[in-house]
């Protein structure tokens, strides 16, 4: 399987009673796919999965699986334990699982490889490793990423290391065959795509979806002039969206746009202040008002 393009890790909208707003979630899924997103992520960290009970998690996956099946789009599901992966068995609409590097315990790089080897052997779907060391506490060298890429059943990595360092450059200079590198740090996605990342998983792409798709397409065809200009503006948007913990600002802006019924998040998250939301709305307006250079 080949993963490329822009994937949107969908939020979980809530209604006024605090329940999952199914209609709003379905509409969001259709909107971002209609704007050119390659696929969707269900139960990613942007979806607040830790605050959802099992029934709510199943509701989200069922709904997004139906949308992706109807639109012939890939669906990745956040799942990093044998039990969570087992729940994906018998779901043909699920393309792969997005599996986090074990957080907090810092098991060491050999143990991370052993962990994913065992997960992949037991999983009914291929795995995409979610590497985000500033959250998990576990660094991975380029050599370890290559070892993970060589595991049967591991098809890619969501690379969110917080910066573009030597290991990232080395990985993208000689990417493993059949292994997709998907950028996961929204503010630096343009340089990652320029270096050769095949795609991205971006919470920011709930908003200005078509712009992020255009950015990925521009770097893919080598239109650096168009990509640089658009990338700078989208980085400013992403920085504003992450000025408070994700997905609080994304939800507040989607609510302000009338796309979800409430901006509600569940504890331990709190709503952002209004000034933060207004900054994003202003940047969206500016982005919409500036045309990108013509395609060659």
Q: Which positions ≥6 away from 47 have C-beta within 8 Å?
A: 9, 10, 11, 12, 41, 60, 78, 247
Task: Determine the pLDDT at residue 288.
Answer: 85
Question: For 148-169, what is the mean pLDDT?
Answer: 97
CA distances, 70 to each of 33, 37, 143 (Å): 11, 15, 39
Distance CA 182, CA 202 (A): 9
- Digit-coded pLDDT (tens) for 120-144: 999 999 999 999 999 999 999 999 9
Question: For 11-28, what is the mean pLDDT?
Answer: 98
Whole-model pTM over 0.85: yes
Q: Which residue has the tokens 């049967």?
A: 152
- Digit-coded pLDDT (tens) for 22-68: 999 999 999 999 999 999 999 999 999 999 999 999 999 999 999 99
- Digit-coded pLDDT (tens) for 198-244: 999 999 999 999 999 999 999 999 999 999 999 999 999 999 999 99
Cβ 109 vs Cβ 141: under 8 Å: yes
Distance CA 275, CA 111 (A): 44
What is the SS3 assignment for 194?
helix
Question: Residues 168, 174, 178, 181: what is their CA dihedral angle, to the nearest 10 degrees?
Answer: 20
Q: How would residue 293 be classed by pLDDT, with cut points 50, 70 and 90?
A: very low
pLDDT at 154 over 90: yes
Q: Identify the structural domains of the chain with CATH numbers, from first to last.
A: 5-221 (3.20.20.70)
Task: Determine the pLDDT at residue 142.
Answer: 97
Distance CA 125, CA 93 (A): 10
Question: For 248-276, what is the mean pLDDT?
Answer: 98
Residues tagged active-site:
130, 158
Question: For 13-22, what is the mean pLDDT?
Answer: 98
Task: Determine the pLDDT at residue 292.
Answer: 40
Helices (H) and strands (E) in the chain, counts: 12, 8
Distance CA 257, CA 251 (A): 10
What is the SS3 assignment for 181?
strand
Task: Determine the pLDDT at residue 290.
Answer: 55
CB neighbour burial string for 66-88, b if at least 16 within 10 angstroms, e if fewer: ebbeeeebbbbbbbbeeebbebb
What is the SS3 assignment for 7?
strand
Task: Determine the pLDDT at residue 284.
Answer: 97
Angle at 217 between CA 213 and CA 222, to 5 degrees: 150
DSSP 199: E
Helices 248-256 and 224-241: crossing angle in degrees, nearest 10, is: 100
């Amino acid at each position: 399987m080949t993963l490329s393009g822009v994937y949107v890790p969908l939020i979980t909208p809530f209604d006024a009673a605090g329940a999952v707003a199914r209609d709003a979630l379905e509409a969001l899924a259709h909107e971002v796919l209609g704007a050119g997103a390659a696929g969707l992520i269900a139960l990613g960290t942007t979806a607040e999965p830790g605050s959802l009970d099992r029934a709510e998690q199943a509701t989200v996956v069922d709904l997004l699986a139906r949308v992706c099946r109807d639109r012939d789009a890939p669906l990745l599901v956040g799942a990093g334990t044998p039990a969570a992966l087992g729940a994906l068995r018998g779901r043909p609409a699920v393309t792969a699982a997005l599996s986090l590097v074990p957080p907090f315990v810092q098991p060491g790089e050999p143990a991370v490889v052993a962990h994913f080897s065992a997960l992949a052997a037991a999983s009914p779907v291929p795995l995409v490793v979610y590497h985000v060391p500033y959250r998990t506490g576990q660094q991975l060298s380029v050599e370890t990423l290559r070892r993970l890429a060589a595991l049967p059943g591991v098809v890619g990595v969501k690379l969110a290391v917080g910066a573009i360092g030597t290991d990232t450059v080395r990985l993208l200079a000689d990417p493993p065959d059949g292994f997709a590198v998907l950028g996961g740090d929204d503010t630096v996605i343009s340089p990652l795509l320029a270096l050769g990342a095949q795609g991205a998983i971006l919470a920011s792409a709930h908003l200005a979806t078509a712009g992020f798709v255009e950015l990925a397409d521009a770097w893919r065809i080598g239109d650096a002039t168009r990509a640089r200009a658009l990338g700078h503006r989208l980085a400013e948007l992403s920085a504003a969206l992450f000025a408070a913990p994700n997905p609080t600002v994304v939800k507040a802006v989607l609510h302000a746009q009338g796309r979800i019924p409430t901006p509600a998040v569940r504890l331990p998250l709190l709503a952002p202040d209004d000034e933060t939301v207004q900054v994003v709305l202003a940047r969206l307006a500016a982005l919409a008002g500036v045309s990108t250079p013509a395609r060659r």
